Structure 1
């Protein structure tokens, strides 16, 4: 089965961020209890800062190194939508359980305030939804794909998002 990122330590996580300063990476809140993370069930590490819930982070293995993204969650609005779809894992949730996350681009574009956004599971637990380890808030249509196919599709979508963040189009 696809999946299972290698365990990450604090130093590797903080050094991986590509779209924030070293000082910002040093100050960001890491997930609680890194030692207790079940790395075999994750394709990337994602978390939200419990003290500042609009701050979110993703770290994934990419081309032989870790790439970390600092993101901001959009403020939820009173949408008329009853359900939303995560652009990464394609899991359907109640509208409040999918959030627009925006990541600052790298380079001059990021310094100018340019961002890239996508809709992702609000808890960033896409890997767990694909493996059935966590259940979405609304019933899901399950296509006839395997977990490996689902993970491959999810990682392709995530890597496309990372490509956009890494594009300095200033």
Structure 2
């Protein structure tokens, strides 16, 4: 992931109005982030706990999306659609995101199940114990990282397709 600045983050959002973009609370610890260990950058708004924000790199540029968590909890313990972590070390919640462009202005949204606090990059980088004799745990971790990157990119491209 490319290192982000507050200015880059604010200008990256494609599914919010100008007023909403100005109101986004950007984390103030950007300089302390390990950008090379992130496949996307996600955070929650402390003033509006149902809002989440994710920024990913698409074609060399930062693209940001605002997400809204469903108010009703899920009935079962779901699996994150992005990291697909089966050990579920954290909560997974349902988020909806407004599509970019005309489709979003018409009210079209896309929903997905995600780690509640966007822990996917850490989840896929965990080195799990060998599943069987001869299992290559590092290769499995590398496949999880690529899978996460592919699913994040697919979600972003889907939301942009209505623009």
State the TM-score bracket (shorter-chain normalisation).
Answer: 0.7 to 0.9
> Is the counterpart of residue 146 in structure 1 residue 140 in structure 2?
yes
Segments of 5+ residues of structure 2 without an aligned counterpart are none
Higher-strand-fraction structure: 1
> Is the counterpart of residue 6 in structure 1 residue 2 in structure 2?
yes
- What is the CA deviation profile of residues 3-32 of structure 1, one whole-angstrom value per residue up to 9, with x for unaligned ones? xx1210000000111111222112101124
Report how far residue 127 of structure 1 moved: 0.2
Report how far residue 106 of structure 1 moved: 1.2
Question: 1:136 maps to what in 2?
Answer: none
Query: Is the Cα–Cα contact under 8 Å of residues 130 and 147 in structure 1 kept in the other structure?
Result: yes
> Is the counterpart of residue 72 in structure 1 residue 68 in structure 2?
yes
Work out which of the residue numbers 151, 158, 163 in structure 2 matches 1:164.
158
Deviating runs (4+, > 4 A) in structure 1?
Answer: 141-145
Question: 1:155 maps to what in 2?
Answer: 149
Query: Is the Cα–Cα contact under 8 Å of residues 124 and 148 in structure 2 kept in the other structure?
Result: no
In structure 2, do the counterparts of structure 1 residues 100 and 78 end up closer, same or farther at CA, with 3 Å as the change threshold? closer
Work out which of the residue numbers 107, 117, 126 in structure 1 matches 2:111.
117
**How many corresponding residue pairs?**
156
- What is the CA deviation profile of residues 72-123 of structure 1, one whole-angstrom value per residue up to 9, with x for unaligned ones? 01124362x2x321110001327x8101111101111111111001111111
Q: TM-score, normalised by structure 1?
A: 0.82
Segments of 5+ residues of structure 1 without an aligned counterpart are 134-140
Question: Aligned partners of 2:111, 2:157: CA distance in 1, in Å?
Answer: 12
Question: 1:31 maps to what in 2?
Answer: 27
> Is the counterpart of residue 16 in structure 1 residue 21 in structure 2?
no
Question: 1:137 maps to what in 2?
Answer: none
In structure 2, do the counterparts of structure 1 residues 163 and 78 end up closer, same or farther at CA, with 3 Å as the change threshold? closer
Instruction: Specify the SS of the correspondent of 1:146.
Output: helix
Question: Aligned partners of 1:63, 1:78: CA distance in 2, in Å?
Answer: 34
Over the aligned positions, Cα root-mean-square deviation in angstroms equals 2.4
Question: Aligned partners of 1:39, 1:162: CA distance in 2, in Å?
Answer: 19
Question: 1:87 maps to what in 2?
Answer: 81
In structure 2, do the counterparts of structure 1 residues 39 and 106 end up closer, same or farther at CA, with 3 Å as the change threshold? same
